[in-house]
Amino acid sequence: SMGKKVNEFENKFAKYTGVKYAVMTNSGSSANLLGVASQFFLKKNKLKRGDEVIVPATGWSTTYAPLTQYGLKLKIVDIDIESLNIDFSLLKKSISKKTKMICAINLSGIPADLHKIRKLSDKHNIILYEDNCEGLGASINNKKTGSFGNFASHSFFFSHHMSTIEGGMISTNNFEVYNILKCLRAH
């Protein structure tokens, strides 16, 4: 399953998304799990059990489950009623000294305020986890969703925008994260 065609797809997907690296998984759920797990093995600024992660009030169990599986504390922030994505003004107010990661979900193909969230996470040195499982192909000012986060997950389940029947992908611009993801996938 990790043959020439998968490698070719990973390279083409990274180029399409506008990131340096992409790692194929068996599902979008596994992409979420491995993406979160990778942040525990970084040399600097790694996550640890008990760290706080801000999540939107509307999302998927497959987004939240890896966070709780790794012992992270979820801080739920309400959504903007127009986009159904995390409300940016409430997100800004919710950041504390305990906040180590923000999860932005591009719900039903509608991108979150990713430019603003990226700037906010950079300002506070917070990891941005972008769940793009339902946002493949969307863009903001010609920048594809799935390219804003420290890592992003994508799903190719049969009900999503592009299907491989099952399957998922993690995209990142970080070489260290890319290598950690390949190790985690191998196990």
Catalytic annotation, residues: 160
Closest CA to 155 of 184, 182, 131, 185: 131
Contacts 24+ apart (CB under 8 A), 125-129: 125/45, 126/95, 126/99, 126/100, 126/101, 126/102, 127/39, 127/45, 127/47, 127/100, 127/101, 127/102, 128/101, 128/102, 128/104, 129/35, 129/36, 129/39, 129/53, 129/101, 129/102, 129/103, 129/104, 129/153
With contact defined as beta carbons under 8 Å apart, do 66 and 31 qualify?
no
